Structure 1
């Protein structure tokens, strides 16, 4: 997944013949790769079936989240439709995805 960030650079133009100086702000887009070092993310999706408590308990049990972390992820899932709940290697995340799916929650490894 690619992410673009804004970086502002200031350029000072010096026009020697007229003695006119101006500061012009130029906005430059820089491409930033947002993939993790391990390369994969565990993403959980919103649905109309599971309760907040069930999703929170699942994230605590399966992903070893703290209660506040699990609650934050659950609110993000609710409002945004999905949330990256864990980052790591494919081999670490696939069993977590399977355990989440076994509890009736939609998830995938990206």
Structure 2
């Protein structure tokens, strides 16, 4: 019977990496519903600015419409801030909210 050592020095710091990843992704980019912007415009914006696929953007737009708002992306503040600004420049209301753990 062969016994293998399961210790992996490359993943020894996995807990530290998980914490760092959690800290880096501690914000939500929220897009708010309104009666002005069309589904097509919101979908196009999410694809252009957030890098969503057509299907992803359509699903987000439906949730935004039905729930009033939706977290379309999660990440660090530094990454989300320019995206939030770009969405707002297209006259779609977007905000950044800190995740509460």
Paired residues, what number?
75
Structure 2 regions of 5+ residues with no counterpart?
A: 1-20
Higher helix share: 2
Cα RMSD for the two superposed structures: 1.0
Specify the structure having the higher radius of gyration (Cα). Answer: 1
TM-score, normalization by structure 2: 0.73
Give me the whole-angstrom Cα distance separating, in 1, the residues matched to 2:96 and 2:60.
Answer: 16
Once superposed, which parts of structure 1, at least 4 consecutive aligned residues long, lie more than 6 Å away?
none
Q: Which runs of 5+ in 1 are unaligned?
A: 1-35
| Bigger relative contact order (CA 8 A; separation at least 6) | 2
User: Normalized against structure 1, the TM-score is what?
Assistant: 0.67
The structure with more strand, counted as a fraction of residues? 1
